[in-house]
Amino acid sequence: MNIIGIHLGHNATASLLKDGKIINCVSEERFSRIKNHTGIPMESIKWILSKNNLKKEDIDYIVLDDYEVIKDPYFATNLKDYLISKRSFMRYIYKFKIIESFINLKKRLVDKRKVGKKREDMKKDIYETFGFNPNKILIIDHHTSHAYSPCFNLPKDKETLIFTLDGEGNDLCATINIWNGKNLKRIAETNKRASIGWLYAWTTLILGMKPLEHEFKVMGMAPYAKDYGIKKTYDKIKDLIWLDKKHGLTFKSKFRMYFIGYYLENILKYERFDNISGSIQKLLEKLVIKWIKNGIRYTGIKDIALSGGVFMNVKLNMKISELDEVKTIFPMPSGADESNAIGAAFFGYKKYCENNNVKFDPIPFEELYLGPNYEDDEIYKFLKQNGYDKKYHIEKHKNIEREIAKLLSKNEVVARLNGNSEFGARALGNRSILSNPSDIENIRIINEAIKKRDFWMPFTPSIMEEKEKDYIINPKNIFAPYMIITFDTTKKAKKELIAAIHPYDKTARPQIVKEKWNPSYYKIIKEFGKITGINAVLNTSFNLHGEPMVLSPRDAMHTMENSDLKYLTMGNYLISKK
């Protein structure tokens, strides 16, 4: 059984499900080198087919998570460009016209006629590109994909409440669903006009950063704001969005949130950047926590899952996990739109089982090393053919993990390309830059020499599973291998992991490393622990600021040559600058 799941929009991604298990998933940006690549993930699909020696007739279903490609039309580089662009300007003008209701009614009627055409056009594009049988191409809506994506890892014998929340998709921004191990039932949904994801995105733009990409920077800045500074700014935005009065399961808003940029810019003018960040984070946490509580009270279900781009906000996830009402929580790893390729594949698998009388038995995903791998022979051939052996010191080591640990113990920064690349936005050791977490000076070194990232942003600790309790305060024993939730830290962590936790509030977004999932990366941490007594390393993604994460040896050498990075390991090779 072979099911391909495809996300077409922002950060286009493709996955392969084989016999109930996701075995590959990769985003197109890794191949194209275009951050958050939008469109049909051509190279990702080609790689999946080639990697698994699959022909078009071997594919049982191809499932798309939408019927049109979303090209992020609402954002320009600044507010002025936004307002003068024809499409956006007309949307802005309509907001203040009496005839808005008529226009919206007309638009809905037109859209209903166009939906079928859009679906057929997308099927045609996929068919013409890959030759897949059009009868095997299924299309589901965006938030259904979000809701299905965590279902691989949810209990099969009890109900789980699944919350989805993002900017928008198929005219929705939020849903609440019940998954009983076999079927998904949607019990509430919110129209995109009341999108808190859009509100957060507009705030990101007003702060001079890039929406749909830099929201995490706003989140990282928020802890620096003081309560007395937040109050005035928060009072200006708190009434823009709220929950319905009946059951509190849907969001309501004063304006259509994708129009709100001009208004927001005016009311926040002259407010401090940290207070703006703190205010939008406070509003997000307050509203979403209330929404979660309402969903639990309405259904009586205390086991929850989270999916959608808003739940990439790891500080929000921490607040949700701490609720007394929440018994268990599973935030979808890298749960933004790229995870919809996984949700789409799940839907296709479920459909295949129903149509072919096959037992429905999805296999949980564990490690997320689902992308391309490069063997030593391939790496050396690339280095040799491109003359890197003449420019750099290149050594092959039988125990490369020990060599990395030695360098880290000497306070060197080491980039690592090894094994299959990680799915999603988080570097999980195989495409990572590593450093000693106990020396706060490494923050400056990595930022200035390589990452060029914002000074207030924290890094992440990768911690041996057995040593988690030494560093992380986790009373509910939430399994945290995916860097998708933060925790308070221990005194030991504040000393030994000072460079890998948030500089101000001292929380950590950890990767708990299981030896079984990644023996080589685990070994690096273990060897480092033997030398230093510290059973964790600082981990950040292997890329230059603004570029996609490194995928191939070519990408790795590009990063090394355009930064002050001194040490790079690829497979068992150590490359160092002369």
Q: Are 524 and 434 a contacting pair, CB within 8 Å?
A: yes
| Whether residue 268 sits in one domain with residue 122 | no
| Whether residue 184 sits in one domain with residue 42 | no
Backbone angles phi, psi at 249, to 5 degrees: -105, -5
CA distance 576 to 578: 6
What sections of 21-85 are H helices per DSSP? 29-32, 42-51, 79-84
Please report how many Cα atoms fall inside a 13 Å half-sphere around the Cα of residue 165, on the Cβ side. 29
For the chain, the farthest-separated pair of C-alpha atoms sits apart, in whole angstroms, at 73
| Whether residue 245 sits in one domain with residue 121 | no
| Whether residue 545 sits in one domain with residue 399 | yes
Out of 85-94, 297-306, 320-329, 478-487, pick the least confident.
85-94
CATH number of the CATH domain containing 300? 3.30.420.40
In a domain, 110, yes or no: yes
**CB neighbours (10 Å) of residue 335?**
31
For the stretch 315-362, pLDDT in tens is 999 999 999 999 999 999 999 999 999 999 999 999 999 999 999 999
| Whether residue 211 sits in one domain with residue 301 | yes
| Whether residue 246 sits in one domain with residue 188 | yes
What single-letter DSSP state applies at residue 498? G
| Whether residue 322 sits in one domain with residue 345 | no
Q: Residue 143: which pLDDT band, with cuts at 50, 70 and 90? A: very high
In a domain, 503, yes or no: yes
- The predicted model scores a pTM of 0.91
Q: Residue 67: which pLDDT band, with cuts at 50, 70 and 90? A: low
- For the segment 543-567, the average pLDDT, to the nearest whole number, is 96
| Whether residue 538 sits in one domain with residue 399 | yes
In a domain, 58, yes or no: yes
| Whether residue 346 sits in one domain with residue 328 | no
In a domain, 280, yes or no: yes
What is the tally of structural domains in the chain?
3
For the stretch 176-190, pLDDT in tens is 999 999 999 999 999
| Structural domain range at position 327 | 155-332
Closest CA to 60 of 25, 22, 19: 19
In a domain, 43, yes or no: yes
Q: Residue 578: which pLDDT band, with cuts at 50, 70 and 90? A: confident
| Whether residue 165 sits in one domain with residue 113 | no
| Whole-number pLDDT of residue 119 | 63
In a domain, 109, yes or no: yes
CA distance 33 to 371: 15
